[in-house]
Amino acid sequence: MAPAERGDLTGLLAAWSDGDASSLDRLIPVVYNELRRMAARYLRRERGDHTLQATALVHEAFLKLVDQRHVRWQNRAHFFAIAAQLMRRILVDHARVHLSGKRGGSVTWVSLDEAIAPVKGKDVDVVALDDALSRLAAFDPEQERLVELRFFGGLTIDEAAEVLGTSPATVKREWTLAKAWLHRALREEVRP
């Protein structure tokens, strides 16, 4: 997204927060491609026979974003952080429905970003990842939010620092700790 579009996005988000319904019509074309890239990145990590397509994931997430009436949008990073959170929920809900439909059958797998898993190609059950993130949230909510921003939202260290209101150095340190914690939690979960 070009710098001018980023500034435009922040203005559109502010106008939308202030109740300007027409700003939503102008916002959609500005954010759609980025949301589509996020959705495609998520779905590349899913099982090969996944029935949810990137376009459908974007549309479901956007419907939920539009329902966020009480959010005071701060900036681009804040918007995409909320979008990442919503996409994560949609994918986890989809995986849970799939698992219940199969009566515990096939597991939904996502390829865990090599930054979290030290072994390339490590696959993680999306439901197990969500459960591990929930446990991490109980232990350290900021680290859970950071993982959501970086892994699911695709935000950079600087963007995550902006959303979290902290320094990039702190984000790097917390990211390292969160990755180690998740790796251990997921490794323990697959043990018999």
The amino acid sitting at 171 is: V
- Token readout for 84 is 């990442």
Cα dist from 133 to 12, 25, 37, whole Å: 32, 34, 23
Percent of the chain as helix, strand, coil, to the nearest 5: 70, 5, 25
Q: How many CB atoms lie within 10 A of CB 50?
A: 20
What are the tens digits of pLDDT across the range 132-181?
888 888 888 888 888 888 877 777 899 888 888 899 999 999 998 888 88
The rounded mean pLDDT for the chain is 76
- As a whole-number percent, the residues of the chain with pLDDT over 70 amount to 76
What are the tens digits of pLDDT across the range 104-142?
445 444 444 443 443 344 455 777 778 888 888 888 888
Beta bridge partners of 109: 125
Domain that holds residue 115: 3-190
- Token readout for 72 is 């005071």
- Token readout for 28 is 């959609």
Q: How far apart are CA 18 and CA 184, in angstroms?
A: 44
Give how many domains the chain has, as a whole number: 1
- The one-character DSSP state at 75 is -
Question: Residue 61: CB partners within 8 Å, gap ≥ 6?
Answer: 35, 39, 83, 86, 87, 90
